[in-house]
Amino acid sequence: MTMDSTVLTTDLTEDATRYPLDPLSGAEIEAAAAIISESDYATPTLKFVMISLAEPAKTAELTFTGAQVPRQAFVTMYDAAAKLIYEAVVDIDARVIDSWTPIPGRFPSYLVEHMTGVEEKVREDPRWQEAMRKRGVTDFSLAMIDPWPAGYYGAGDHYDNSPLICRPLTFMRAAPSEHGYARPVEGLIVTFDLDKMEVLGIEDHGVVPLPPTAGNYDPKFMFDENNRPAFTAFRDDVKPIEITQPDGPSFTVDGWKVQWQKWSLRIGFNPREGITLHEVTYTDRGQTRPILYRGSLSEMVVPYGDTAPTHWNKNVFDMGEVGMGFSANPLTLGCDCLGEIHYFDGTVNDSDGNAVTIPNAICMHEEDFGISWKHTDFRTGEVEVRRSRRLVVSMICTVGNYEYGFFWYFYNDASIEVEVKLSGVLTTGAVEVESGEQPRWGKMVAPGIYGPNHQHFFNFRLDMSVDGAGNSVYEVDSIPEPDPELNPHHNAWITQDTLVASEAAGARDWNWSTGRYWKVTNPSKKNELGIPVAYKLVPKDVVPVMVQEGSFIYDRARFLQHNLWVTKYDPAEKFAAGDYMYQSADVQGLPEFVADDAPLEDSDVVLWYTLGAHHIVRPEDWPVMPCAYTGFHLKPIGFFDGNPALDLPPSPPKACHGH
């Protein structure tokens, strides 16, 4: 940490004036739960899955300034005795239930107690204990048991034939708090009934010795084969970096509203999505211009490409089956975030309806980002240069072994970048060291330990409002000049715009050979050149999808089959793989959304962009993985009449130190 860093935290009192898009406070969460618990709908076995803001309907003005909107909660619940999900909309101010809807044939995402209670129950099971004894394990207290979501793997897993289940995997620590993922228990699979919180069955596919080498990254656990300390010292040539802003940060915060230079946005948070962004606008020559009405992570999935018994069924929807908000870390100044920081606490619920605060769940700060623009007049020697700066809004989530960082960057050239950072620990498998076996569907990272081939995919929902709600989407390709008479030197090329006219054509794929991107235009707003104003979505690090037709995950994650989907705005369509995908076999989400083939031209459009990380593991990813990065950009393209960063002030020379 730096002594000069400043920490500010959004801490709204319960009687503060709340904007209609502000996330629910702890008092509002508990009020919504109490209203339901005191109603005739309540049962002794009813549990609260997620309690979040029921966002009000979009207005024509794309803002709620001055509007009086009742505070409503959207509540999902699960009754294990009835095997039924319920959805409710609760008017918190009037203390009434506005709607109550049973959702048959679906399973909920995890309840909070599932993440901790499963481990205790598995340890007590005599069948699991016997399997562990076969592997030479007698101290069961050192076992780590991760409650992996069950997914869907055949008729027995579907709703009519199954309780709510998970399939826990076991790892062994050598000492309390030691790195357990270095000792995966290969071939041992537990099927666990989450309704009754009991073990249903044990599969043991044969003993593989526990890997012999510790994989510790904490110095207090790092020893060599002779039990001597293997960690000697940290690097001594890393000099301190201090980020200071003597006059304070350039942003201002009013509740959940943020203003930074010419940007204005509202931050939200809920148990499923984590960070949500609302009413993103940019002020251009005194005019406030909307760009993005709502942006959020819509879904993510991690399909594994290993047919081994312990690994083939790993296909987790970490957001829809667990919840990014529930998984958010309390962030630490100087470690996760550096500089002049403003934190936003996140508030979620437990299964009894109590509010749970995650302190510092969202971090916001400014970063220098190198040169924004520069030119040297070589004739006169005159130099003009401006430095780029960005506003960073981020959260980091831990889901089992992995960490996911979600970063929204706002630049002072009016561009937006979304970046996902992947770190944490690989999910591991074991092979016999003596055999010299090399895994077919993964790579070795240490003696006896391998990481299976896998991918991570993240779908972001971008409810666009480029200078208003009436937008059109075009696919833009760069191609050689098609008319030979106009291309006598064989060097000319053009850009070709293809209108995405309706949802039937709304599933689009990136094309490397044409430098493809997509732009969202406002046909009713023109720049000084007479061209409709627009923002473009620029892909980054596009990866191939290895999920194959015929696999169980194929239908459940159809959003992976195209890089971009375009739909007409529907407030009920928020999640790319559907509302409830746990143990579900059928196609949900985006394929359903586009089935009515709604017209898209000059309408309220939503972009759904899928980005991926293709993970063929390497020894350098072990024992903890350096950050991998993936993301995309939103950039103005004719939205302005010139460079929007032209008015950036020059940096004072004293800020640049030379030696």
In the 3-class helix/strand/coil scheme, how is 209-221 assigned residue by residue?
A: CCCCCCCCCCHHH
Q: How far apart are CA 7 and CA 330, in angstroms?
A: 14
- What is the Rg, in whole angstroms, of the alpha carbon atoms belonging to the chain? 26
Alpha helices in 112-213 (DSSP H): 114-124, 126-133
* Distance between CA atoms of residues 343 and 466, nearest Å: 29
Residue 12's pLDDT band, with cuts at 50, 70 and 90, is very low
Q: Which residues contact 129 (CB under 8 A, 6 or more apart)?
A: 123, 140
Mean pLDDT of 435-458: 94
pLDDT at 347 over 80: yes
Which of 293, 304, 343, 402 is an active site residue?
402
Write the Ramachandran bin of 325: left for phi over 0, alpha for psi from -120 to 50, otherwise beta: alpha
Would you state the pLDDT for residue 6?
52
Residue type, 512: W
Cα–Cα distance between 495 and 386 in angstroms, integer?
31
Beta bridge partners of 476: 497, 517
pLDDT at 102 over 50: yes
Closest CA to 500 of 485, 513, 516: 516
* Residue 294, burial from CB neighbour count under 10 angstroms (0-12, 13-18, 19+): buried
pLDDT of 144-189, one tens digit each?
A: 999 999 878 776 666 566 889 999 999 999 988 888 999 999 999 9
Helix (H) or strand (E) holding 86: strand 84-91
Task: With beta carbons less than 8 A apart as the criterion, state whether 611 and 559 touch.
Answer: no
Q: Has residue 582 got a pLDDT over 60?
A: yes
User: Is 21's pLDDT higher than 70?
Assistant: yes
Instruction: Classify residue 511 by burial, with Cβ atoms within 10 Å: 0-12, 13-18, 19+.
Output: middle
| DSSP element (H, E) containing 240 | none
For the segment 429-443, the average pLDDT, to the nearest whole number, is 90
Query: Angle at Cα 462 formed by Cα 250 and Cα 86, nearest 5°?
Result: 110
Closest by alpha carbon to 605, among 290, 293, 296, 300?
293
Task: Assess contact for 290 and 62: CB atoms under 8 A.
Answer: yes
CB-based contact 398:336 (threshold 8 Å): no
Query: Catalytic residue at 318?
Result: yes
Cα–Cα distance, 245 to 247 (Å, whole number) = 6
Kindly tell me if the per-residue pLDDT of 230 is higher than 70.
no
Q: How far apart are CA 103 and CA 351, in angstroms?
A: 18
Q: What is the pLDDT of residue 596?
A: 96
Supply 75's token pair: 């509540």
The rounded distance, in Å, linking the Cα atoms of 482 and 490 is: 10
How do residues 279-314 score in pLDDT, each as one tens digit? 999 999 999 999 999 999 999 999 999 999 999 989
Query: Please, what is the end-to-end C-alpha distance for the chain in angstroms?
Result: 26
Residue 549 has pLDDT above 60, yes or no: yes
Give the separation between CA 556 and CA 608, rounded to whole angstroms. Answer: 16
3-state secondary structure of 494: strand
Which amino acid is residue 317, in one-letter code?
F
- The residue behind tokens 């012999």 is 212
| Phi and psi torsions of 512, nearest 5° | -65, -40
* Backbone angles phi and psi of 63, in degrees to 5: -155, 160
Question: Is residue 360 within a helix (H) or strand (E), and if so which, with residue range?
Answer: strand 355-376
Closest CA to 410 of 259, 629, 534, 263: 263
Could you tell me which residues come within 8 angstroms of residue 116 by beta carbon, excluding any fewer than 6 positions away? none
Q: What is the DSSP letter of 555?
A: H
Task: Name the burial class of residue 389, with classes exposed (0-12), middle (13-18) and buried (19+) by CB atoms within 10 angstroms of its CB.
Answer: buried
Q: Is the peptide bond before 359 cis (omega within 30 degrees of 0)?
A: no
The per-residue pLDDT of the chain, averaged, comes to 92
Instruction: Say what the pLDDT of residue 541 is.
Output: 87
Q: What pLDDT does residue 229 have?
A: 54
Catalytic residue among 318, 345, 579, 604: 318
Domains of the chain from N-terminus onward: 26-103 (3.10.450.40), 108-239 (3.10.450.40), 251-637 (2.70.98.20)
Cα gap 515→513, rounded to integer Å = 6
Secondary element (H or E) of residue 29: helix 26-37
**Residue 125's pLDDT band (cuts 50, 70, 90):** very high
Q: Please, which pLDDT band fits residue 659 given cuts at 50, 70 and 90?
A: very low
Model confidence at 15, pLDDT cuts 50, 70, 90, reads: very low
How far apart are alpha carbons 208 and 438 in whole angstroms? Answer: 14
| Span 348-371, average pLDDT | 97
Bridge partners of residue 246, in order along the sequence: none
Token digits for 234?
A: 């940290």
Report the alpha-carbon distance of residue 416 to residue 540 in Å, rounded: 13
Is 152 annotated in the active site?
no
Bridge partners, 171 (sequence order): 144, 184
Q: Give me the DSSP letters along 459-478.
A: EEEEEE-TTSS-BEEEEEEE
Q: Is the pLDDT of residue 495 over 50?
A: yes
pLDDT digits (tens, 9 = 90+) for 51-98: 999 999 999 999 999 888 999 999 999 999 999 999 999 999 999 999
b/e map 242-257, b = 16+ CB within 10 Å: ebeeeeebebebeebb
Residue labelled with tokens 């509740």: 255
**Taking 50 as the threshold, does the pLDDT of residue 511 lie above it?**
yes
Model confidence at 115: pLDDT above 90 = no
pTM of the model: 0.95
> Position of tokens 């030691």?
178
CA 352 remoteness from chain centre: 26
Helix (H, G, I), strand (E, B) or coil at 393: strand
